[in-house]
Amino acid sequence: MTVASSKSLHDLSFSELTRILSEEGVILHHAKVLWRVIHGLGEIDLSDHPFLPPLRRWINANVGEGKAYFLELPEVVDEIHSSDGMTRKFLLRLRDGQIIETVLMSYDGRQTVCVSTQAGCAMGCVFCATGQMGFSRHLSPGEIVAQVLHARRVLKTVDPRKRIRNMVLMGMGEPLHNYDAVMVALETLSDRRGAGIGPTKISISTVGVVPSILRLANEQRPYRLAVSLHGSTEEERSALVPASKKWPLHSLIDACKKYGSITGKRIFFEWTLIAGKNDSTETAQRLVALLHGIDAHINLIPLNPTGGFSGSQSDSGSKFQKILIAGGFPCTFRQRRGIDVAAGCGMLKADKIGKSI
């Protein structure tokens, strides 16, 4: 068995794990036990766990380096903490050497993990550190799952009573560009027999991959949709989000309306306020008109400065918010977390690459 032909246990859905074990004569009860140990307890070493003999024999024969299956355990390259103690950012190295970021954040006692779905990103958003790196590859389901399990293990060392209740796919990469792997990972992470993160506590952030938004709606996926908009006209948006040239603003808005009609769910629109680019009162007024008829909540995000772009002044942001609220849209400023630990997407990796990891 070569490393290339080995498979991560974290890549397997519960049904796949059950099928594999049953083919070896290991019954469903043992599959549930193994699933709980891997995904519920997040154990990183199966050698000492007191499994019953049928499962122990299967693990000894099939799990480990050079065997059929392995555990996805990314290496921690760096870990930094914010000065307020509310944010931890991890730089993780995958088995092939790719580097990704994962962030653990605390909001009023709620623990949230922000995960990456790709190594790099193909969307090329000009104000995003990850977008400026380019795209390397998609992450596997197990590589997405392993980030959450790593954050849970860290949280357990801080306070065993705390658990991760919220998950956002707003790290490196475009989740809907890696649709199939992301859906497998989310099914695993929301499984009550394992990590048990409630589906309604999981947010998928996209720059607007129109076919995948429609697919989410048609498949009735239970997760929350967050659309990174950032522009109220085609010209304004395409200057910041190159993907808008492939999926123009009008087609994105049409897809959002169809999503709302099919699912009955509110859409969260993310708007990063960039000084002199998209923070004017005129832009806010256009945004109100653009989103007319959509059940929308707008999150205003202060920009983590990168690539020559800077965030708006607080008075500009406040005026922007007032116009949106007057237009009938719930609108909040997202709490800023971890600016002193380069918590903006891709910023820590970019910093480390500059210093040679």
Give catalytic residue positions: 101, 345
Question: CA-CA distance, 103 to 48, in Å (whole number)?
Answer: 30
Torsion of CA 85, 204, 296, 326, to 10 degrees: 30
Sign, CA torsion 123/303/255/282: negative
Supply φ then ψ for residue 139, to 5 degrees: -90, 150
Give which of 259, 344, 263, 338 is closest to 310, Cα–Cα.
344
Q: How many CB atoms lie within 10 A of CB 44?
A: 13
